């Protein structure tokens, strides 16, 4: 399946910004199931510096700076991606008891598992804890396969937690999400990652997009999508397997991966430091379109928020 992705972020300032420096994690990486056909970053006003590099996790990071006064900054990431799902890892993970993966990471440690270690411990936003382990425990009875256990965890998060965009912010700690049983995709992905780590498994936070389909009989709204996030578990020889607790779905051809890290802070889509600017507003719009569809006129419908 091929997609065309458009992710627009616009900052509007009350005062001019003389200098800003930003890092974006907006261009999709290559994965085993995904190939990036094309990608570009359109920035207004034109940046004085723009460079791309791979970070320690292999994500594509764009670094740019604008060194002259501006009151609006618009960053548009446009890419085309082809997704070809591979059901085999999940099938293999149905044959592996979850404890054997845990033991591999915590005892035997074959060289192949090196890649999983960065995702085994506490990270900036996610601390392993007893309550998290207790929440996850019912999904992980002795001897259950890793795939089955993680699917169960995903389902339980989906059923136990209410999707509530107004409740949390980037700064809301996980303990609060757990206590109130509500949040957004980012919180649910974080929850999954932290639960798995609390049990001694390696898990990472995946940032990306999901294709949304219109209700039957309705037109698809362009630009009304949003960036998305889910979790991924290390399954030993089968590699990594993704789970989307927000949609109760094992990602296959409708999920597009942009980047992964230990938590959101490693792969924040766009962050920056601005000198001056007074108050600022940010507006984000995302569009995920199958390229088989005819192109439509762009129409942003965005959420904005005062910070």
Residues that bind other proteins (CB under 8 A): 9, 11, 18-23, 48-49, 51, 53, 55-57, 63, 65, 67, 109, 111, 114, 117-118, 120-122, 163, 165, 170, 183-188, 210-213, 225-229, 246-247, 261, 264, 266, 268-277, 280, 282, 284, 303, 305, 307
The least distance separating other proteins from the CB of residue 94, rounded to whole angstroms, comes to: 25
Q: Which is nearer to other proteins, 42 or 305 (CB)?
A: 305
The least distance separating other proteins from the CB of residue 64, rounded to whole angstroms, comes to: 10
Q: Which is nearer to other proteins, 145 or 261 (CB)?
A: 261
Q: Which is nearer to other proteins, 4 or 280 (CB)?
A: 280
Please give the full DSSP string across 4-31, using - where no structure is assigned: EEEEEEEEEEEEEEEEEEEEEEEEPPPB
Q: Which is nearer to other proteins, 38 or 305 (CB)?
A: 305
Our measurement of the distance from residue 70's CA atom to the centroid of its chain's CA atoms, rounded to an integer in Å, reads 30
The least distance separating other proteins from the CB of residue 26, rounded to whole angstroms, comes to: 9
The least distance separating other proteins from the CB of residue 189, rounded to whole angstroms, comes to: 9
In this structure, the number of other CB atoms found within 10 A of the CB of residue 111 comes to 6
Alpha helices in the chain (DSSP H): 88-93, 98-103, 130-136, 146-160, 174-180, 185-198
Residues 6+ apart with CB under 8 A from 4: 78, 79, 80, 287, 288, 289, 290, 291
The least distance separating other proteins from the CB of residue 144, rounded to whole angstroms, comes to: 25
Q: Which is nearer to other proteins, 173 or 276 (CB)?
A: 276
Apex CA 283: angle with CA 264 and CA 52, to 5°? Answer: 55
């Amino acid at each position: 399946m091929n997609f065309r992705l458009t992710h627009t972020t616009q900052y509007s300032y009350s005062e001019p910004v003389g200098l800003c420096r930003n890092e974006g994690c907006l261009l999709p990486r290559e994965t085993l199931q995904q190939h990036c056909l094309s990608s570009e970053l359109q920035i207004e006003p034109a940046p004085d510096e723009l460079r791309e590099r791979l970070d320690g996790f292999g994500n594509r990071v764009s670094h740019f700076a604008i060194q002259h006064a501006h009151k609006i900054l618009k960053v548009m990431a446009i890419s085309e991606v082809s997704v070809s799902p591979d059901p085999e890892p999940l099938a293999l993970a149905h044959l592996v008891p979850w404890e054997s993966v845990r033991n591999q990471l915590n005892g035997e440690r074959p060289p192949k598992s090196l890649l999983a270690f960065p995702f085994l411990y506490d990270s900036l936003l996610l601390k392993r804890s007893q309550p998290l382990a207790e929440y996850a425990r019912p999904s992980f009875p002795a001897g259950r396969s890793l795939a089955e256990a993680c699917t169960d965890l995903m389902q339980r998060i989906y059923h136990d937690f209410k999707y509530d965009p107004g409740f949390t912010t980037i700064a809301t700690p996980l303990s609060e999400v757990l206590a109130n049983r509500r949040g957004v995709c980012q919180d649910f992905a974080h929850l999954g990652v932290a639960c798995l780590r609390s049990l001694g498994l390696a898990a990472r936070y995946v940032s990306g997009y999901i294709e949304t389909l219109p209700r039957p009989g309705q037109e698809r709204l362009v630009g009304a999508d949003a960036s998305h996030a889910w979790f991924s578990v290390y399954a030993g020889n089968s590699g990594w397997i993704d789970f989307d607790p927000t949609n109760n779905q094992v990602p296959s051809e409708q999920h597009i991966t942009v980047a992964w890290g230990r938590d959101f802070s490693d792969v924040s889509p766009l962050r920056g430091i601005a000198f001056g600017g007074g108050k600022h507003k940010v507006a984000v719009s995302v569009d995920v379109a199958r390229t088989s569809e005819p192109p439509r006129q762009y129409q942003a419908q965005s959420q904005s928020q005062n910070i």
